[in-house]
């Protein structure tokens, strides 16, 4: 029987192959250090959990909630943008709460895409950026992820040669997976380009608060007039260690926000009210919880860069996000990122995300998530050192996993 049209557009998740290996190694008793998935391991701050527990006691909160987000939550998100970026938003018309930023992004694609619409998407990037539009019937044209002047010539070519002219341009800085950060000057050039060619800008700012330099990453909405063409997505998953709560936001251009809100009003009733109330409290907090999370990731980053470097696996220090993006050591690069990642599970008990899972331009790299504690990151480095030092032997003597254990 032929596969369904939509399902055919969704190839099996590359990461699944590493996950399967990881699961079978664990079942065989291996202690796999998991730097693969970007699933924060830190607990949600207690005050946020307490608020949820308090609010859930009120039966009125058990009813359907508000699809676009309760008013206090939307006001809190607008206040965050004002405080953090100096961007003024109308919480009634320019803010919508989403069930995580991933859902918001995917449903924005549903809301604005006609079959065959061309969307400019960085490569490598977080998979939903491309697949959200592919599911919506769009066509992807890959662009560079480098936030500098080299970003623009391929864009110019895309505008000249795409039929129809591109509908939207996706930005994701700080980037998952590359961890690159964009400057406000870069955003100014992007917005000028988008306005000139009448292109929608969708910015994924999921890592707005996970940065390690003195300069916090800017919002593209800080560019004067950006709101004419832009919607930006943020997430509570990383900022407040709330990945399982599914709470995010889309903010920006009223027409685009209205389109997303309309689609969502047909699909969901909003997050559970106690989650929305607890999220409101989190956003209105004094920022100390966020600073703590940031410091933990920073220490882990420093430990990873140092210990992996000493182990012979160079990891450039990421300026932001909870990921390092590391080039596969030279002698393994020909294997490609999937085979190298499998090898790391089998021979070093370390799971990473193969770069190919983020697009073909990622195949020389692996992504390392900072979701294990410092002790285990050091252990991962020791395992990798052992693997690298015995690689010649093991590479010529690849024993199947079952025989090996």
Ligand X SMILES: Cc1ncc(COP(=O)(O)O)c(C=O)c1O
State the residues that interact with ligand X by CB under 6 A: 38, 100-102, 126, 172, 176, 204, 206, 235, 237, 243, 248
Contacts 24+ apart (CB under 8 A), 10-14: 10/131, 10/134, 10/135, 13/127, 13/357, 14/338, 14/354, 14/356, 14/357
Task: Work out how close the CB of 303 gets to ligand X at its nearest, in angstroms, rounded to a whole number.
Answer: 21
Considering the complex, state which of residue 206 and residue 384 has its C-beta at the smaller distance from ligand X: 206
Considering the complex, state which of residue 248 and residue 274 has its C-beta at the smaller distance from ligand X: 248
Considering the complex, state which of residue 173 and residue 332 has its C-beta at the smaller distance from ligand X: 173
Considering the complex, state which of residue 39 and residue 389 has its C-beta at the smaller distance from ligand X: 39
Considering the complex, state which of residue 170 and residue 315 has its C-beta at the smaller distance from ligand X: 170
Task: Work out how close the CB of 131 gets to ligand X at its nearest, in angstroms, rounded to a whole number.
Answer: 12
Task: Work out how close the CB of 93 gets to ligand X at its nearest, in angstroms, rounded to a whole number.
Answer: 22
Of all residues in the shown chain, the one whose CB is closest to ligand X is 100
Task: Work out how close the CB of 322 gets to ligand X at its nearest, in angstroms, rounded to a whole number.
Answer: 8
Task: Work out how close the CB of 201 gets to ligand X at its nearest, in angstroms, rounded to a whole number.
Answer: 15
Considering the complex, state which of residue 243 and residue 348 has its C-beta at the smaller distance from ligand X: 243
Task: Work out how close the CB of 174 gets to ligand X at its nearest, in angstroms, rounded to a whole number.
Answer: 8
Task: Work out how close the CB of 246 gets to ligand X at its nearest, in angstroms, rounded to a whole number.
Answer: 7
Considering the complex, state which of residue 206 and residue 263 has its C-beta at the smaller distance from ligand X: 206
């Amino acid at each position: 029987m032929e596969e369904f049209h939509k399902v055919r557009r969704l190839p099996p998740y590359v990461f699944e192959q590493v996950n399967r290996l990881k699961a079978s190694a664990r079942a065989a008793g291996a202690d796999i250090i998991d730097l693969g998935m970007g699933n924060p391991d830190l607990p949600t701050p207690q005050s946020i959990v307490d608020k949820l527990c308090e609010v859930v006691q009120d039966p009125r909160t058990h009813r359907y909630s508000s699809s676009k987000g309760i008013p206090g939550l939307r006001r809190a998100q607008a206040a965050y943008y004002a405080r953090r970026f100096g961007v003024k938003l109308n919480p009634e018309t320019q803010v919508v709460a989403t069930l995580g930023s991933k859902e918001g992004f995917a449903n924005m694609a549903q809301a604005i895409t006609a079959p065959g619409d061309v969307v400019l998407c960085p490569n490598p990037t977080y998979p939903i950026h491309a697949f959200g539009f592919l599911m919506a019937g769009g066509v992807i044209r890959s662009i560079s992820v480098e936030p500098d002047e080299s970003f623009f010539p391929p864009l110019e070519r895309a505008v000249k040669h795409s039929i129809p002219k591109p509908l939207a341009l996706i930005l994701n800085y700080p980037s998952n997976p590359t961890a690159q950060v964009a400057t406000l000057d870069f955003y100014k050039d992007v917005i000028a380009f988008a306005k000139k060619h009448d292109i929608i800008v969708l910015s994924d700012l999921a890592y707005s608060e996970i940065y390690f330099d003195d300069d916090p990453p800017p919002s593209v909405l800080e560019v004067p007039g950006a709101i004419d063409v832009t919607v930006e997505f943020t997430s509570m998953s990383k900022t407040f260690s709330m990945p399982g709560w599914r709470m995010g936001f889309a903010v920006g251009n009223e027409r685009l926000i209205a389109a997303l809100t309309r689609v969502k009003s047909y699909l969901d009733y909003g997050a559970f009210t106690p989650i929305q109330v607890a999220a409101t409290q989190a956003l209105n907090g004094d920022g100390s919880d966020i600073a703590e999370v940031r410091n933990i990731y920073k220490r882990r980053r420093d430990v990873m860069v140092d210990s992996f470097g000493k182990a012979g696996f160079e990891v450039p220090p990421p300026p932001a996000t909870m990921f390092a993006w590391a080039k596969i050591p030279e002698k393994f690069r020909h294997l490609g990122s999937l085979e190298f990642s499998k090898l790391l599970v089998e021979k070093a008990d370390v799971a990473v995300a193969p770069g190919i899972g983020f697009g073909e331009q990622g195949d020389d790299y692996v992504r390392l998530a900072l979701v294990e504690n410092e002790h285990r990151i050091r252990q991962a480095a020791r395992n990798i050192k052992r693997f690298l030092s015995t690689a010649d032997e093991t590479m010529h003597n690849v024993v199947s996993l079952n025989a090996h254990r």
